[in-house]
């Protein structure tokens, strides 16, 4: 669980990954596909690359919001 405080209402996108090897980056295989669990807001998935901001974007209202990101392997 992660909480962001005092964000202005507006459009946002969030990405997350589980850094299983502890190297501080999302590890990938030789062709660039992630080998650690990762996810984006809106459960967006890109085609031949990462999802775009448009695919991942959500509107944060003035009252705040709760968001769940599913990590994919």
Within 13 Å, how many C-alpha atoms sit on residue 43's CB side?
A: 5
| pLDDT tier, 26 (very low <50, low <70, confident <90, very high otherwise) | very high
| pLDDT tier, 69 (very low <50, low <70, confident <90, very high otherwise) | very high
For residue 48, pLDDT over 90 is answered with no
| pLDDT tier, 19 (very low <50, low <70, confident <90, very high otherwise) | very high
**Nearest alpha carbon to residue 56 among 7, 5, 16:** 16
Mean predicted confidence (pLDDT) in 48-57: 93
Q: Share the mean pLDDT of the chain.
A: 94
Partners of 59 in the beta sheet?
11
Determine what percent of the chain is predicted with pLDDT higher than 70.
Answer: 100
């Amino acid at each position: 669980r992660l909480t962001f405080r005092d964000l202005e209402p507006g459009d946002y996108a969030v990405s997350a990954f589980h850094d299983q090897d502890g190297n501080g980056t999302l590890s990938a295989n030789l062709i660039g596909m992630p080998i650690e669990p990762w996810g984006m807001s809106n459960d967006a998935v890109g085609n031949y690359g990462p999802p775009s901001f448009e695919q991942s974007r959500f509107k944060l209202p003035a009252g705040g919001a709760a968001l769940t990101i599913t990590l994919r392997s």
